[in-house]
Amino acid sequence: MLKRELAYFFGALRFFTRLPVPAWVGHSSAALDRSARYFPALGLLVGAIGALVFALASLFWPATLAVLASMAATVYATGAFHEDGWSDMVDGFGGGGRGDNDKARVLDIMKDSRIGSFGAVALVMLLLAKFCALIELERATVPVALVAGHALSRFCATTLLRGLDYVRDEGKAKPLATRIGRGELALAGAAAALPLFCLPPAQALCACLFAAAATLWLARQFKRRIGGYTGDCLGAAQQLSEVAFYGGLLCGFS
């Protein structure tokens, strides 16, 4: 059973990051379908990488460069997987029209590997918002904020698997399209909650509320425009809820 659960975790690690996995871990769509419970745990790992890089960079550089270094490290570790989803989603929703019959157009644009003007502008603004939020935090708070933000935002994206339907016949998120069970969602939530205990309760609550609001808003847009979610939608939810989490921390600290 332990080996099976490790296979689920490492399968998700290989799918969502560039980090190495043991050679014995095979590829299985069925196993990847069961790995959603470990998405926040991956966030703990990715956030820890960002936190470590920030801490080391802070020994030599000012906070601005340390934050940039931490962001670059997490983007490299994930291969910009979620950032790509954010830009694709905004391209599709921005250029796909708003009529009742525009679902196919939105999905076609999101599937296009080329980035459009909507996606480019949205990606720049998102990264700037993340950078500005992190440098406004107290330097000692940034490492735990990175770990908590990456874990909680991946839990937010995971909740979409519970509440929405997958709308493509195929795609990069097709193996994940089975709805997640309550027990699996609870396990994912427990991993996401761990770093929150390292933050002041009021600030953690405020940040979680901001992240939840961002996720609910996106879920409503996904349901209204395309009737559910795609892999790009999951990436977009992770990115926006992460930025919202940092914004909530700032409201709590002000």
C-beta atoms surrounding 232 within 10 Å = 27
pLDDT tens-digit profile of 73-121? 999 999 999 999 999 999 999 876 665 568 888 898 888 888 888 999 9
What is d(CA 181, CA 119) in angstroms, rounded to the nearest whole number? 33
Asked if residue 176 has pLDDT above 60, the reply is: no
What residue spans define the domains of the chain? 41-253
Q: What are phi and psi of 35, to 5 degrees?
A: -90, -5
In 3D space, the residue among 71, 113, 59, 57 whose CA is nearest the CA of residue 88 turns out to be 113
* β-bridge partners, 229: 166
Q: Which two tokens stand for residue 22?
A: 């043991």
pLDDT tens-digit profile of 27-80? 667 667 778 889 999 999 999 999 999 999 999 999 999 999 999 999 999 999
